[in-house]
Structure 1
Protein backbone atom coordinates (compact mmCIF):
# COMPACT_ATOMS: atom_id res chain seq x y z
CA UNK A 1 0.00 0.00 0.00
CA UNK A 2 1.30 3.40 -0.90
CA UNK A 3 1.91 6.01 1.76
CA UNK A 4 0.30 8.61 -0.50
CA UNK A 5 -2.99 6.72 -0.35
CA UNK A 6 -2.96 6.89 3.45
CA UNK A 7 -2.40 10.64 3.31
CA UNK A 8 -5.24 11.06 0.79
CA UNK A 9 -7.60 9.07 3.00
CA UNK A 10 -6.60 11.16 6.01
CA UNK A 11 -7.13 14.39 4.05
CA UNK A 12 -10.59 13.27 2.92
CA UNK A 13 -11.45 12.31 6.50
CA UNK A 14 -10.40 15.69 7.86
CA UNK A 15 -12.22 17.57 5.10
CA UNK A 16 -15.41 15.55 5.51
CA UNK A 17 -15.34 16.03 9.28
CA UNK A 18 -14.95 19.80 8.99
CA UNK A 19 -17.64 20.13 6.34
CA UNK A 20 -20.04 17.91 8.28
CA UNK A 21 -19.61 19.92 11.47
CA UNK A 22 -20.14 23.21 9.66
CA UNK A 23 -23.26 21.89 7.93
CA UNK A 24 -24.68 20.37 11.12
CA UNK A 25 -24.25 23.62 13.04
CA UNK A 26 -25.96 25.55 10.27
CA UNK A 27 -28.96 23.21 10.46
CA UNK A 28 -28.37 21.21 7.28
CA UNK A 29 -28.08 17.69 8.61
CA UNK A 30 -29.17 16.17 5.29
CA UNK A 31 -26.30 17.81 3.44
CA UNK A 32 -23.86 16.74 6.15
CA UNK A 33 -25.02 13.15 5.72
CA UNK A 34 -24.57 13.36 1.94
CA UNK A 35 -21.06 14.78 2.36
CA UNK A 36 -20.18 11.90 4.69
CA UNK A 37 -21.62 9.38 2.28
CA UNK A 38 -19.71 10.88 -0.64
CA UNK A 39 -16.46 10.75 1.34
CA UNK A 40 -17.07 7.12 2.22
CA UNK A 41 -17.76 6.17 -1.40
CA UNK A 42 -14.66 8.04 -2.56
CA UNK A 43 -12.39 6.29 -0.07
CA UNK A 44 -13.95 2.90 -0.80
CA UNK A 45 -13.33 3.40 -4.51
CA UNK A 46 -9.64 3.92 -3.71
CA UNK A 47 -9.40 0.91 -1.39
CA UNK A 48 -11.37 -1.73 -3.34
CA UNK A 49 -8.49 -2.62 -5.73
CA UNK A 50 -6.21 -3.27 -2.74
CA UNK A 51 -8.84 -5.49 -1.11
CA UNK A 52 -9.21 -7.40 -4.37
CA UNK A 53 -5.43 -7.92 -4.52
CA UNK A 54 -5.47 -9.13 -0.92
CA UNK A 55 -8.15 -11.75 -1.61
CA UNK A 56 -6.37 -12.79 -4.81
CA UNK A 57 -3.11 -13.24 -2.89
CA UNK A 58 -4.82 -15.26 -0.15
CA UNK A 59 -6.52 -17.45 -2.76
CA UNK A 60 -3.19 -18.03 -4.52
CA UNK A 61 -1.48 -18.80 -1.23
CA UNK A 62 -3.99 -21.47 -0.20
CA UNK A 63 -4.61 -23.06 -3.59
CA UNK A 64 -2.95 -26.41 -4.11
Structure 2
Protein backbone atom coordinates (compact mmCIF):
# COMPACT_ATOMS: atom_id res chain seq x y z
CA UNK A 1 0.00 0.00 0.00
CA UNK A 2 2.82 2.40 0.84
CA UNK A 3 4.47 1.94 -2.53
CA UNK A 4 1.32 3.03 -4.37
CA UNK A 5 1.08 6.25 -2.38
CA UNK A 6 4.75 6.97 -3.04
CA UNK A 7 4.20 6.47 -6.76
CA UNK A 8 1.24 8.85 -6.74
CA UNK A 9 3.35 11.48 -4.97
CA UNK A 10 6.21 10.98 -7.45
CA UNK A 11 3.87 11.41 -10.41
CA UNK A 12 2.28 14.48 -8.82
CA UNK A 13 5.72 15.96 -8.13
CA UNK A 14 6.79 15.40 -11.71
CA UNK A 15 3.56 17.02 -12.90
CA UNK A 16 4.05 20.10 -10.71
CA UNK A 17 7.69 20.43 -11.77
CA UNK A 18 6.74 20.12 -15.44
CA UNK A 19 3.99 22.71 -15.09
CA UNK A 20 6.41 25.21 -13.57
CA UNK A 21 9.10 24.49 -16.18
CA UNK A 22 6.56 24.78 -18.96
CA UNK A 23 5.36 28.18 -17.72
CA UNK A 24 8.89 29.51 -17.26
CA UNK A 25 10.04 28.36 -20.68
CA UNK A 26 6.89 29.58 -22.40
CA UNK A 27 7.17 33.05 -20.79
CA UNK A 28 10.80 33.31 -21.88
CA UNK A 29 9.85 32.58 -25.48
CA UNK A 30 11.21 29.04 -25.70
CA UNK A 31 8.04 27.24 -26.73
CA UNK A 32 9.86 24.35 -28.42
CA UNK A 33 11.92 23.68 -25.30
CA UNK A 34 8.75 23.80 -23.17
CA UNK A 35 7.12 21.21 -25.41
CA UNK A 36 10.16 18.96 -25.27
CA UNK A 37 10.38 19.06 -21.48
CA UNK A 38 6.68 18.25 -21.24
CA UNK A 39 7.09 15.30 -23.58
CA UNK A 40 10.12 14.06 -21.67
CA UNK A 41 8.17 14.20 -18.41
CA UNK A 42 5.28 12.28 -19.94
CA UNK A 43 7.68 9.60 -21.16
CA UNK A 44 9.22 9.27 -17.68
CA UNK A 45 5.79 8.88 -16.08
CA UNK A 46 4.73 6.37 -18.73
CA UNK A 47 7.81 4.24 -18.03
CA UNK A 48 6.95 4.28 -14.33
CA UNK A 49 3.38 3.18 -15.06
CA UNK A 50 4.46 0.55 -17.59
CA UNK A 51 6.78 -0.98 -14.99
CA UNK A 52 3.87 -1.19 -12.54
CA UNK A 53 1.59 -2.79 -15.13
CA UNK A 54 4.31 -5.31 -15.92
CA UNK A 55 4.59 -6.19 -12.24
CA UNK A 56 0.80 -6.58 -12.11
CA UNK A 57 0.80 -9.01 -15.03
CA UNK A 58 3.65 -10.99 -13.49
CA UNK A 59 1.74 -11.22 -10.21
CA UNK A 60 -1.44 -12.36 -11.97
CA UNK A 61 0.50 -14.99 -13.94
CA UNK A 62 2.09 -16.27 -10.75
CA UNK A 63 -1.19 -16.23 -8.85
CA UNK A 64 -3.05 -18.29 -11.43
CA UNK A 65 0.02 -20.39 -12.28
CA UNK A 66 0.03 -19.36 -15.94
CA UNK A 67 3.38 -20.04 -17.54
> What number of residue pairs does the alignment pair up?
61
Provide TM-score, normalisation by structure 2. Answer: 0.75
Aligned to 2:7: 5
Q: Which runs of 5+ in 1 are unaligned?
A: none
The reply to whether residue 40 of structure 1 matches residue 26 of structure 2 is no
Relative contact order (alpha carbons < 8 A, sep ≥ 6): 1 or 2 greater?
Answer: 1
Deviations 1:11-57 (A, max 9, x none): 00000000000000110000000100110011011000222344564
* Structure 1 residue corresponding to 2:28, chosen from 19, 26, 29: 26
4+ long deviations beyond 6 Å: none
Q: Tell me the C-alpha RMSD between the 2 structures.
A: 1.9
